[in-house]
Structure 1
Amino acid sequence: MSEDAIKMPVDVACILHLLPHRYPFLLVDRVVELEPHQRIRALKNVTFNEPFFQGHFPGRPVMPGVLVIEAMAQAGGLLTQLSQPKGSGGEGKLFYLVKVDNARFNRMVVPGDQLDIEVVLKRTIRNMALYECVARVDGKDVASAEILCAEGKE
Protein backbone atom coordinates (compact mmCIF):
# COMPACT_ATOMS: atom_id res chain seq x y z
CA MET A 1 0.00 0.00 0.00
CA SER A 2 1.66 3.26 -1.04
CA GLU A 3 1.89 5.99 1.55
CA ASP A 4 -0.05 8.46 -0.59
CA ALA A 5 -2.89 5.93 -1.07
CA ILE A 6 -3.55 5.58 2.67
CA LYS A 7 -6.73 7.37 3.64
CA MET A 8 -7.70 7.87 7.25
CA PRO A 9 -9.37 6.29 8.99
CA VAL A 10 -8.21 2.81 8.01
CA ASP A 11 -11.25 0.60 8.57
CA VAL A 12 -11.56 -3.00 9.65
CA ALA A 13 -11.83 -4.26 6.04
CA CYS A 14 -8.35 -2.92 5.33
CA ILE A 15 -7.05 -4.15 8.69
CA LEU A 16 -8.27 -7.67 7.83
CA HIS A 17 -6.22 -7.44 4.63
CA LEU A 18 -3.08 -6.39 6.53
CA LEU A 19 -3.16 -8.61 9.64
CA PRO A 20 -3.61 -12.39 9.84
CA HIS A 21 -5.68 -12.16 13.06
CA ARG A 22 -9.38 -13.00 13.02
CA TYR A 23 -12.24 -13.19 15.52
CA PRO A 24 -11.92 -13.51 18.43
CA PHE A 25 -8.31 -12.35 18.29
CA LEU A 26 -8.36 -9.28 16.06
CA LEU A 27 -7.94 -6.49 18.61
CA VAL A 28 -7.76 -3.35 16.45
CA ASP A 29 -10.91 -1.83 14.96
CA ARG A 30 -9.61 1.30 13.26
CA VAL A 31 -6.47 3.31 12.51
CA VAL A 32 -7.02 7.03 12.98
CA GLU A 33 -3.50 8.46 12.60
CA LEU A 34 -0.40 7.33 10.76
CA GLU A 35 3.06 8.73 10.23
CA PRO A 36 4.68 6.00 8.11
CA HIS A 37 7.83 4.49 9.64
CA GLN A 38 7.26 6.58 12.81
CA ARG A 39 3.95 6.23 14.68
CA ILE A 40 0.37 5.03 14.54
CA ARG A 41 -2.77 5.64 16.58
CA ALA A 42 -5.42 2.92 16.56
CA LEU A 43 -8.69 2.19 18.35
CA LYS A 44 -10.20 -0.92 19.93
CA ASN A 45 -13.81 -0.76 21.08
CA VAL A 46 -14.23 -2.99 24.11
CA THR A 47 -17.71 -4.49 24.33
CA PHE A 48 -19.36 -6.87 26.75
CA ASN A 49 -19.70 -9.33 23.85
CA GLU A 50 -15.95 -10.10 23.91
CA PRO A 51 -15.62 -13.85 24.62
CA PHE A 52 -12.95 -13.39 27.32
CA PHE A 53 -15.41 -11.55 29.58
CA GLN A 54 -17.27 -14.83 30.26
CA GLY A 55 -14.45 -16.03 32.47
CA HIS A 56 -12.47 -12.86 33.28
CA PHE A 57 -14.23 -12.25 35.62
CA PRO A 58 -17.86 -13.37 36.00
CA GLY A 59 -19.82 -10.50 37.48
CA ARG A 60 -16.86 -8.12 37.22
CA PRO A 61 -15.59 -8.14 33.62
CA VAL A 62 -12.02 -6.95 33.04
CA MET A 63 -10.06 -7.13 29.77
CA PRO A 64 -6.98 -9.30 30.39
CA GLY A 65 -3.77 -7.27 30.41
CA VAL A 66 -2.10 -9.67 27.99
CA LEU A 67 -4.81 -8.82 25.43
CA VAL A 68 -4.13 -5.09 25.88
CA ILE A 69 -0.45 -5.91 25.15
CA GLU A 70 -1.56 -7.94 22.11
CA ALA A 71 -3.67 -5.02 20.85
CA MET A 72 -0.59 -2.77 21.09
CA ALA A 73 1.47 -5.37 19.19
CA GLN A 74 -1.18 -5.59 16.45
CA ALA A 75 -1.12 -1.80 16.13
CA GLY A 76 2.66 -2.05 15.73
CA GLY A 77 2.14 -4.64 12.99
CA LEU A 78 -0.23 -2.24 11.25
CA LEU A 79 2.39 0.52 11.46
CA THR A 80 4.89 -1.78 9.76
CA GLN A 81 2.43 -3.01 7.11
CA LEU A 82 0.99 0.44 6.30
CA SER A 83 4.52 1.85 5.96
CA GLN A 84 5.47 -0.65 3.23
CA PRO A 85 5.31 0.56 -0.36
CA LYS A 86 2.76 -1.40 -2.39
CA GLY A 87 4.39 -4.27 -4.23
CA SER A 88 7.47 -4.25 -1.99
CA GLY A 89 6.89 -7.87 -1.01
CA GLY A 90 5.98 -6.93 2.56
CA GLU A 91 2.33 -7.85 2.15
CA GLY A 92 1.35 -11.10 3.79
CA LYS A 93 4.51 -11.48 5.87
CA LEU A 94 3.93 -12.66 9.40
CA PHE A 95 5.46 -10.87 12.35
CA TYR A 96 5.59 -12.45 15.79
CA LEU A 97 5.74 -10.92 19.23
CA VAL A 98 9.10 -11.98 20.65
CA LYS A 99 9.68 -9.74 23.67
CA VAL A 100 7.80 -7.45 26.03
CA ASP A 101 9.72 -5.12 28.35
CA ASN A 102 8.65 -2.62 30.99
CA ALA A 103 4.98 -3.62 30.86
CA ARG A 104 2.84 -1.54 33.20
CA PHE A 105 -0.86 -1.71 33.90
CA ASN A 106 -2.31 1.44 35.46
CA ARG A 107 -6.07 0.90 35.24
CA MET A 108 -8.55 -1.84 34.39
CA VAL A 109 -10.16 -1.92 30.94
CA VAL A 110 -13.86 -2.77 31.11
CA PRO A 111 -16.81 -3.12 28.72
CA GLY A 112 -17.75 0.23 27.18
CA ASP A 113 -14.15 1.50 27.13
CA GLN A 114 -12.40 2.49 23.94
CA LEU A 115 -8.70 1.67 23.89
CA ASP A 116 -6.76 4.47 22.22
CA ILE A 117 -3.46 2.86 21.26
CA GLU A 118 -0.37 4.84 20.31
CA VAL A 119 2.68 3.04 18.99
CA VAL A 120 5.99 4.68 18.13
CA LEU A 121 8.68 2.84 16.19
CA LYS A 122 11.88 3.20 18.22
CA ARG A 123 14.14 1.31 15.81
CA THR A 124 14.41 -1.54 13.36
CA ILE A 125 17.13 -4.16 13.51
CA ARG A 126 17.32 -6.48 10.48
CA ASN A 127 13.96 -8.31 10.49
CA MET A 128 12.84 -6.94 13.88
CA ALA A 129 11.05 -3.80 15.05
CA LEU A 130 11.08 -2.28 18.53
CA TYR A 131 7.95 -0.33 19.45
CA GLU A 132 7.13 1.95 22.37
CA CYS A 133 3.43 1.53 23.12
CA VAL A 134 0.80 3.21 25.28
CA ALA A 135 -2.89 2.34 25.58
CA ARG A 136 -5.26 4.95 26.98
CA VAL A 137 -8.93 5.15 27.92
CA ASP A 138 -10.48 8.61 28.14
CA GLY A 139 -7.02 10.17 27.90
CA LYS A 140 -5.62 8.22 30.88
CA ASP A 141 -2.87 5.63 30.51
CA VAL A 142 -4.13 2.09 31.16
CA ALA A 143 -1.07 0.17 29.94
CA SER A 144 2.35 0.69 28.40
CA ALA A 145 5.20 -1.50 27.21
CA GLU A 146 8.14 -1.82 24.88
CA ILE A 147 7.40 -4.54 22.36
CA LEU A 148 9.79 -6.33 20.02
CA CYS A 149 8.37 -8.12 16.96
CA ALA A 150 10.26 -10.21 14.43
CA GLU A 151 9.43 -11.39 10.93
CA GLY A 152 8.70 -15.09 10.85
CA LYS A 153 10.80 -17.46 8.77
CA GLU A 154 9.08 -18.95 5.74
Structure 2
Amino acid sequence: MHDYAAIRRLIPHAHPILLVDRVLEIQPYEQIVTSKNVTGSEPCYAGLADDLGSRAFSYPPSLLMESWGQGGAILWMERIKAQGQERSGSLFLAATRDVRLHRAVLPGDTLRHVVRIDQYVADCVLLSGESWVGDELVAEVGSAIAVMRPAESIAWEA
Protein backbone atom coordinates (compact mmCIF):
# COMPACT_ATOMS: atom_id res chain seq x y z
CA MET A 1 0.00 0.00 0.00
CA HIS A 2 2.35 2.75 1.26
CA ASP A 3 6.06 2.31 1.71
CA TYR A 4 8.29 4.38 3.98
CA ALA A 5 8.90 7.13 1.39
CA ALA A 6 5.16 7.61 0.79
CA ILE A 7 4.51 7.74 4.55
CA ARG A 8 7.16 10.47 4.96
CA ARG A 9 5.41 12.55 2.30
CA LEU A 10 2.04 12.11 3.97
CA ILE A 11 2.67 12.88 7.66
CA PRO A 12 5.03 15.47 9.16
CA HIS A 13 7.14 13.01 11.14
CA ALA A 14 10.80 12.26 10.38
CA HIS A 15 13.63 10.18 11.82
CA PRO A 16 13.91 9.31 14.66
CA ILE A 17 10.23 9.79 15.51
CA LEU A 18 8.61 8.36 12.37
CA LEU A 19 7.48 5.04 13.85
CA VAL A 20 5.59 3.46 10.94
CA ASP A 21 7.49 1.45 8.34
CA ARG A 22 4.67 0.38 6.04
CA VAL A 23 0.93 0.58 5.46
CA LEU A 24 -0.37 -2.97 5.02
CA GLU A 25 -4.09 -2.32 4.52
CA ILE A 26 -6.39 0.66 4.33
CA GLN A 27 -10.16 0.99 4.34
CA PRO A 28 -10.56 4.64 3.35
CA TYR A 29 -11.77 6.90 6.17
CA GLU A 30 -12.35 3.94 8.53
CA GLN A 31 -9.40 1.68 9.29
CA ILE A 32 -5.70 1.26 8.63
CA VAL A 33 -3.22 -1.52 9.37
CA THR A 34 0.44 -0.48 9.66
CA SER A 35 3.69 -2.16 10.66
CA LYS A 36 6.70 -1.10 12.68
CA ASN A 37 9.84 -3.21 13.01
CA VAL A 38 11.36 -2.78 16.45
CA THR A 39 15.16 -3.11 16.30
CA GLY A 40 17.96 -2.99 18.83
CA SER A 41 19.24 0.17 17.16
CA GLU A 42 16.22 2.26 18.23
CA PRO A 43 17.31 5.54 19.89
CA CYS A 44 15.46 4.50 23.08
CA TYR A 45 18.06 1.75 23.62
CA ALA A 46 21.11 3.99 23.21
CA GLY A 47 23.35 4.02 26.26
CA LEU A 48 21.89 0.93 27.93
CA ALA A 49 24.51 -1.26 29.56
CA ASP A 50 25.42 -4.54 27.87
CA ASP A 51 24.78 -6.66 30.98
CA LEU A 52 21.07 -5.84 31.34
CA GLY A 53 18.37 -8.47 31.07
CA SER A 54 15.72 -8.68 28.34
CA ARG A 55 13.22 -6.65 30.37
CA ALA A 56 15.44 -3.55 30.04
CA PHE A 57 14.90 -3.70 26.29
CA SER A 58 11.09 -3.55 26.44
CA TYR A 59 9.90 -1.03 23.88
CA PRO A 60 8.59 2.00 25.82
CA PRO A 61 4.76 2.10 25.97
CA SER A 62 4.85 5.79 25.01
CA LEU A 63 6.59 4.91 21.73
CA LEU A 64 4.19 2.00 21.18
CA MET A 65 1.27 4.44 21.48
CA GLU A 66 3.01 7.02 19.25
CA SER A 67 3.58 4.38 16.57
CA TRP A 68 -0.05 3.26 16.83
CA GLY A 69 -1.26 6.88 16.67
CA GLN A 70 0.80 7.61 13.56
CA GLY A 71 -1.30 4.99 11.77
CA GLY A 72 -4.34 7.10 12.61
CA ALA A 73 -2.54 10.20 11.35
CA ILE A 74 -1.87 8.50 8.01
CA LEU A 75 -5.53 7.50 7.65
CA TRP A 76 -6.64 11.03 8.58
CA MET A 77 -4.23 12.64 6.10
CA GLU A 78 -5.43 10.29 3.36
CA ARG A 79 -8.97 11.60 3.93
CA ILE A 80 -7.81 15.23 3.85
CA LYS A 81 -5.87 14.57 0.64
CA ALA A 82 -8.87 12.80 -0.98
CA GLN A 83 -11.00 15.86 -0.21
CA GLY A 84 -8.50 18.04 -2.10
CA GLN A 85 -7.37 19.80 1.07
CA GLU A 86 -4.00 20.18 2.74
CA ARG A 87 -2.94 19.65 6.34
CA SER A 88 -3.41 22.94 8.15
CA GLY A 89 -1.34 22.39 11.28
CA SER A 90 0.59 20.03 13.52
CA LEU A 91 -0.82 16.67 14.52
CA PHE A 92 -0.92 15.45 18.12
CA LEU A 93 -2.09 12.25 19.75
CA ALA A 94 -3.68 14.20 22.60
CA ALA A 95 -5.02 11.47 24.88
CA THR A 96 -5.58 7.74 25.15
CA ARG A 97 -7.99 5.92 27.46
CA ASP A 98 -8.61 2.35 28.43
CA VAL A 99 -5.17 1.23 27.22
CA ARG A 100 -4.31 -2.35 28.11
CA LEU A 101 -0.77 -3.62 27.63
CA HIS A 102 -0.64 -7.41 27.41
CA ARG A 103 3.05 -8.15 26.92
CA ALA A 104 6.38 -6.43 26.34
CA VAL A 105 7.50 -5.63 22.82
CA LEU A 106 11.18 -6.43 22.27
CA PRO A 107 13.81 -5.88 19.58
CA GLY A 108 13.11 -8.27 16.73
CA ASP A 109 9.33 -7.94 17.05
CA THR A 110 7.26 -6.56 14.19
CA LEU A 111 4.29 -4.59 15.42
CA ARG A 112 1.06 -4.66 13.44
CA HIS A 113 -1.18 -1.76 14.43
CA VAL A 114 -4.90 -1.73 13.65
CA VAL A 115 -6.33 1.77 13.99
CA ARG A 116 -9.95 2.71 13.49
CA ILE A 117 -11.22 6.27 13.19
CA ASP A 118 -14.54 6.12 14.98
CA GLN A 119 -15.50 9.75 14.39
CA TYR A 120 -14.25 12.85 12.59
CA VAL A 121 -15.03 16.08 14.46
CA ALA A 122 -13.66 19.29 12.84
CA ASP A 123 -9.92 19.32 13.63
CA CYS A 124 -10.08 16.19 15.84
CA VAL A 125 -10.51 12.47 15.32
CA LEU A 126 -11.64 9.81 17.78
CA LEU A 127 -9.75 6.53 17.47
CA SER A 128 -9.65 2.98 18.80
CA GLY A 129 -7.72 -0.17 17.98
CA GLU A 130 -5.02 -2.59 18.94
CA SER A 131 -1.44 -3.69 18.34
CA TRP A 132 -0.22 -7.20 17.58
CA VAL A 133 3.02 -9.13 17.25
CA GLY A 134 2.18 -12.04 14.98
CA ASP A 135 -1.06 -13.53 16.32
CA GLU A 136 -0.43 -12.20 19.84
CA LEU A 137 -2.33 -9.14 21.07
CA VAL A 138 0.16 -6.80 22.79
CA ALA A 139 -1.95 -3.67 23.37
CA GLU A 140 -5.53 -2.43 23.15
CA VAL A 141 -6.66 1.19 22.94
CA GLY A 142 -10.25 1.70 24.04
CA SER A 143 -10.35 5.28 22.83
CA ALA A 144 -8.02 8.08 21.82
CA ILE A 145 -8.24 11.59 20.49
CA ALA A 146 -5.92 13.19 17.96
CA VAL A 147 -5.96 16.89 17.16
CA MET A 148 -4.63 19.22 14.51
CA ARG A 149 -3.53 22.63 15.71
CA PRO A 150 -2.21 25.60 13.69
CA ALA A 151 1.57 25.87 14.09
CA GLU A 152 1.32 29.48 15.28
CA SER A 153 -0.91 28.43 18.20
CA ILE A 154 1.70 26.05 19.60
CA ALA A 155 4.09 27.50 22.16
CA TRP A 156 7.47 25.76 21.99
CA GLU A 157 9.99 26.52 24.69
CA ALA A 158 13.71 26.26 24.10
TM-score (norm 1): 0.87
Q: Offset at 1:14?
A: 0.6
- Equivalent residue for 2:39? 47
Q: Offset at 1:115?
A: 0.2
Q: How does 1:104-143 map to 2 (within 5 A)?
A: 104-143=100-139
Does structure 1 residue 11 correspond to structure 2 residue 8?
Answer: no
Residue type at the aligned position of 1:102 = D
1:107/1:130 CA distance change after superposition, 3 Å: same
In the alignment, the residues of structure 1 paired with residue 22 and residue 12 of structure 2 have an alpha-carbon distance, to the nearest angstrom, of: 15
- Equivalent residue for 1:150? 147
In the alignment, the residues of structure 2 paired with residue 113 and residue 52 of structure 1 have an alpha-carbon distance, to the nearest angstrom, of: 15
**Identity over the aligned pairs, expressed in percent?**
29
TM-score (norm 2): 0.85
Contact 1:18 1:92 in 2 (8 A): no
Count of residue pairs the alignment pairs up:
146
SS in 1 for 2:6: helix
Q: Offset at 1:55?
A: 5.4
Give CA deviations for 1:42-76 in whole Å, capped at 9, x if unaligned.
Answer: 00011111111235786231100111000111000
Q: How does 1:84-123 map to 2 (within 5 A)?
A: 84-86=80-82, 88-91=84-87, 93-123=89-119
Q: Offset at 1:84?
A: 2.7
**Greater Cα shift, 56-65 or 75-84:** 56-65
For the pair shown, the structure with the greater C-alpha radius of gyration is: 2
